[in-house]
Amino acid sequence: MTRPTIDRLETLIVDLPTIRPHKLAMHTMQRQTLVILRLRCSDGVEGIGEATTIGGLAYGYESPEGIKANIDAHLAPALIGLPAGNINAAMLRLDTLAKGNTFAKSAIETALLDAQGKRLGLPVSELLGGRVRDSLEVAWTLASGDTARDIAEAEHLLEIRRHRLFKLKIGANPLEQDLRHVLAIKRELGERASVRVDVNQYWDESQAIRACQVLGDNGIDLVEQPIARINRGGQVRLNQRSPAPIMADESIESVEDAFSLAAAGAASVFALKIAKNGGPRAVLRTAQIAEAAGIALYGGTMLEGAVGTLASAHAFLTLRQLTWGTELFGPLLLTEDIVREAPVYRDFHLHVPATPGLGLTLDEAQLSRFARR
């Protein structure tokens, strides 16, 4: 019997509106831009993938336009004719051909997994070893920058049982202003919710020493990437003295980074992101490093739409423990999406389908409507 091969890869840039501006330390998102990948195989099976960045080059090394260009010109041609079911061989070919480009590779690996799952009648989580849960608790980011508005938003989400884990994006304002903002929200929410902060590398070490002490002493559960990823010594020192756990995010740009951080003792929590590791299989290698080192796990996001969110979710379902939950709320930030089946959020969790592949079908009309011309 002839094995199916990879016939064609097509990329589209899609711009989707968001429910509100999303304020980060380095950038304010007014919309979300996705790179959607369609991988077609000789047996007629199509796999879909997604690569999404937060704020384009303001956040990381890859932009939507660069992702599309590199897939079209370099990565896709290298895959044509390869066995569609041999994901390992395809990704090894890409790693030999191109350094980095983890966002682009993640979209391709996702599409290969989706196609193989459809071909075999299995959800992606089964291809990744088998799910040990069917849903994931999901945090929400309070990012309006206005204290009263953020409190009202959190109270509403608690009332409708959508979220009880809240992250605050801080760092762009003066330190004392940010601390007042965070502590006011924590006082209002009390023990009804977990409150965490994400600094996106915006503090220097001296600011972080003081801030982490204040935050930890006042019930803040987690501090994400408070100082620059290149200050490895500072991360180690901060992790040793902060009363609140320190989570590495921007510090992990690869699986190799995860090993180096674990060996140095630079964080007690790792944020897992498929886009920054190179795909759902790759992110599980980072998780294995963390678990071996006794480092706790958090399911991170690049604020992907439904495709990237469910690709992450299928990987996270296979993990033994996610101590700090996940942040897979990207589809909830959008007013429109490009899939027929909206991800299901209820009782504080994202519920992940057990249907073949990712469990999603593209909505052709919506895709055409929002695709960048």
Residue 93: count other Cβ atoms within 10 Å of its Cβ. 15
Mean pLDDT value of segment 7-30: 80
Q: Which CATH class is domain 127-351?
A: alpha beta
SS3 state of residue 202: coil
Cα distance between residue 282 and residue 241, in whole Å: 31
Q: Which residues, at least 6 apart from 337, have a Cβ–Cβ distance to it below 8 Å?
A: 16, 305, 306, 331, 363, 366
Q: Is the pLDDT of residue 345 over 80?
A: yes
Compute CA distances 340 → 132, 337, 367, whole Å.
Answer: 26, 8, 11
Q: Is 191 a catalytic residue?
A: no
Instruction: Specify the pLDDT at position 193.
Output: 98
Q: Where are the domains of the chain?
A: 6-121+363-370, 127-351
**% the chain with pLDDT above 70:** 97
Q: Dump pLDDT digits (tens) for 241-267.
A: 999 999 999 999 999 999 999 999 999
pLDDT at residue 60, rounded to an integer? 74
Amino acid, single-letter form, for residue 279? G
pLDDT at residue 150 greater than cutoff 60: yes
Residue 68 has pLDDT above 90, yes or no: yes
What was the pLDDT predicted at 21? 65
pLDDT number for residue 192: 97
Q: Would you state the pLDDT for residue 47?
A: 98
Average pLDDT over residues 147-171: 97
Does residue 27 register a pLDDT over 60? no
- Dihedral (CA of 314, 315, 319, 325) sign: negative
Task: Supply the pLDDT for residue 145.
Answer: 85
pLDDT higher than threshold 80 for residue 59: no
pLDDT of residue 373: 87
* Sequential DSSP letters for 43-84: TS-EEEEEEE-SSGGGTSS--HHHHHHHIIIIIHHHHTTSBT
Q: Tell me which of 105, 167, 169, 186 is the catalytic residue.
A: 169
**pTM (whole model) above 0.85:** yes
* Res 28 pLDDT > 90: no
User: Rounded mean pLDDT of the chain?
Assistant: 95
Q: Is the pLDDT of residue 55 over 90?
A: no
Sign of the alpha-carbon torsion through 268, 210, 179, 243 = positive
Q: How far is Cα 256 from Cα 276, in angstroms, rounded to an integer?
A: 11
Q: Determine whether 206 is exposed, middle or buried from the number of CB atoms within 10 Å of its CB (0-12, 13-18, 19+).
A: exposed
Q: Residue 72: exposed, middle, or buried by beta-carbon count in 10 A (0-12, 13-18, 19+)?
A: middle
Instruction: Cite the DSSP H helix spans in 172-251.
Output: 175-189, 205-217, 232-241
If you classify domain 6-121+363-370 with CATH, what class do you get? alpha beta
Answer whether 9's CB lies under 8 Å from 37's CB.
yes
Q: How confident is the model at residue 56 (pLDDT cuts 50, 70, 90)?
A: confident
**In the structure encoding, which two tokens stand for residue 243, read together?**
């009363």
Where do the H-state alpha helices sit in the chain? 64-70, 76-79, 87-97, 102-120, 124-127, 147-159, 175-189, 205-217, 232-241, 255-264, 274-277, 280-293, 306-316, 364-370
* The pLDDT value given to residue 252: 95
24 pLDDT band, cuts 50/70/90, is low
Cα dist from 5 to 1, 41, 227, 369, whole Å: 12, 6, 46, 30
